[in-house]
Amino acid sequence: MINLKNIHKSFKNQVVLNGCNLSAQLGDLVHISGPNGSGKSTLLFIIAGLLEADEGSMHFDNPVNIGALIENPEFADYSTIKDNLSYLLKLKNQVDETYAVELCRNFNLDYYDKKVIKNFSVGMKQKVGIIQAIMEDQNLVLLDEPTRGLDDESKEVFVNLINEMTSKTKATVIITSHDEIVGLNYTSSYRLDAGQIIELQS
């Protein structure tokens, strides 16, 4: 599904990624841990195509449909959940909102809420960020610190959703976090260390 070879990335003269290798298949649930500033978000931005690597290669099996929540979710702040999500669905020529509505309900949000996103709480925004990354059945899902700001009930909803998605081999999911997210059935765990992805023994 995805194969990264020897990815390098520096900002000015700071080397952040120094030869990262990673490969994952459909159904894999990959965890990449690492302390603040280790390059987790940088790596996901590169995989998502939002940042260019200085060196290395990246190969995807076709066709790839990437869903991503990296750092803070970004929305049209003065619009509602429905306006934001239906806009994103239309970009992918998808008209069926059923799954987005269902995901909102699972996360205790109302798809038809009249409130604009600007007035949402941090956790509410984060949940809409997770929903947009998975609502189109994207087959490569990149989630950066996804449970940040989520209450315990929402964390459980998240964990069950991701475990189910990957067990049905519908997607490859890559999650980065500096702490543990309890309950996720990772198929592999790595640590970003000195700019390299080191596999951890399970």
Ligand X SMILES: Nc1ncnc2c1ncn2[C@@H]1O[C@H](COP(=O)(O)OP(=O)(O)OP(=O)(O)O)[C@@H](O)[C@H]1O
Question: Which residues contact ligand X (rule: CB under 6 A)?
Answer: 11, 16, 34, 36-42, 178
Residue 202 binding partner per list Mg ion, ligand X, none, with a CB distance cut-off of 5 to 8 Å that depends on partner kind: none
- Residue 44 or 100 with smaller CB distance to Mg ion: 44
CA 176, 129, 69 angle in degrees (round to 5)? Answer: 35
The distance of closest approach from Cβ of residue 8 to ligand X in the complex, given in angstroms and rounded to an integer, is 13
- Residue 163 or 196 with smaller CB distance to ligand X: 196
Cβ-proximal residues to 123 (8 Å cutoff; 6+ apart), any chain: 149, 150, 151, 154
Q: Which residue has the tokens 């087959």?
A: 139
Residue 178 binding partner per list ligand X, Mg ion, none, with a CB distance cut-off of 5 to 8 Å that depends on partner kind: ligand X
The three-class DSSP label of residue 125 is helix
The distance of closest approach from Cβ of residue 44 to Mg ion in the complex, given in angstroms and rounded to an integer, is 8
Q: Which range, of 15-23, 40-48, 50-58, 77-85, touches Mg ion by CB under 5 A? A: 40-48
The distance of closest approach from Cβ of residue 33 to ligand X in the complex, given in angstroms and rounded to an integer, is 9
Q: State yes or no: residue 41 binds Mg ion (CB under 5 A).
A: yes
- Residue 12 or 114 with smaller CB distance to ligand X: 12
The distance of closest approach from Cβ of residue 9 to ligand X in the complex, given in angstroms and rounded to an integer, is 8
Number of residues that bind Mg ion (CB under 5 A): 2
Give yes or no for a contact between 2 and 172, defined as CB atoms under 8 angstroms apart. yes
How many CA atoms does the CB half-sphere of 82 hold within 13 Å?
11
Residue 34 binding partner per list Mg ion, ligand X, none, with a CB distance cut-off of 5 to 8 Å that depends on partner kind: ligand X
- Residue 27 or 149 with smaller CB distance to Mg ion: 149
- What are the C-alpha distances in Å from 43 to residues 22, 67, 167? 11, 15, 25
Which tokens go with 130? 């997770």
Q: Which residue has the tokens 């949000």?
A: 109
The distance of closest approach from Cβ of residue 12 to ligand X in the complex, given in angstroms and rounded to an integer, is 7
Burial group, residue 7, by CB count within 10 angstroms (0-12, 13-18, 19+) = buried
- Residue 170 or 178 with smaller CB distance to ligand X: 178
| Closest by CA position to 100, among listed 92, 109, 91 | 109
